Amino acid sequence: SYELTQPPSVSVSPGQTASITCSGAKLGDYYVCWYQQKPSQSPVLVIYQDSKRPSGIPERFSGSNSGNTATLTISGTQALDEADYFCQAWDTSSAVFGGGTKLTVL
């Protein structure tokens, strides 16, 4: 079965740029989405189709996908961006999620 791998944790200082990676075999051939989940809340879509932002998601969130790695980039990271982030793709009609990355803003 297809697997997506994320680093368990990423730390960033306020105002700096955070990059969260998601790796999988030939991932660039798939569309990748990203979800933000804050404690005790449901996941929220922040990026779809590799780099598109849903309405209401701040411009500081961006995404890219090439080769074997997709990247979620948060520019000018704010304290309220501290959360878990999950990547997701579809493989042969099954949705696959990465294990999640805890973003700490300190």
Partner 1 sequence: QVQLQESGPGLVKPSETLSLTCTVSGGSISNHYWSWIRQPPGKGLEWIGQIYYSGNTNYNPSLKSRVTILVDTSKNQFSLKLSSVTAADTAVYYCARQTCSNCWFDPWGQGTLVTVSS
Interacting residues toward partner 1 by CB under 8 A: 1, 31, 33, 35, 42-45, 48-49, 54, 86, 88, 90, 93-100
- CB of 82 within 8 A of CB of 20? no
User: Whole-number minimum distance, CB 68 to partner 1, in Å?
Assistant: 20
CA pair distance 90, 75, nearest whole angstrom: 27
Q: Is the Cβ of residue 68 or residue 97 nearer to partner 1 in the bound state?
A: 97
Parallel/antiparallel/unpaired status of strands 94-97 and 18-23: unpaired
Q: Is the Cβ of residue 16 or residue 41 nearer to partner 1 in the bound state?
A: 41
**What number of other Cβ atoms are within 10 A of residue 26's Cβ?**
9
Q: Is the Cβ of residue 28 or residue 43 nearer to partner 1 in the bound state?
A: 43
- CB of 47 within 8 A of CB of 74? no
Q: Which two tokens stand for residue 15?
A: 């105002």
Q: Is the Cβ of residue 13 or residue 54 nearer to partner 1 in the bound state?
A: 54
User: Whole-number minimum distance, CB 71 to partner 1, in Å?
Assistant: 17
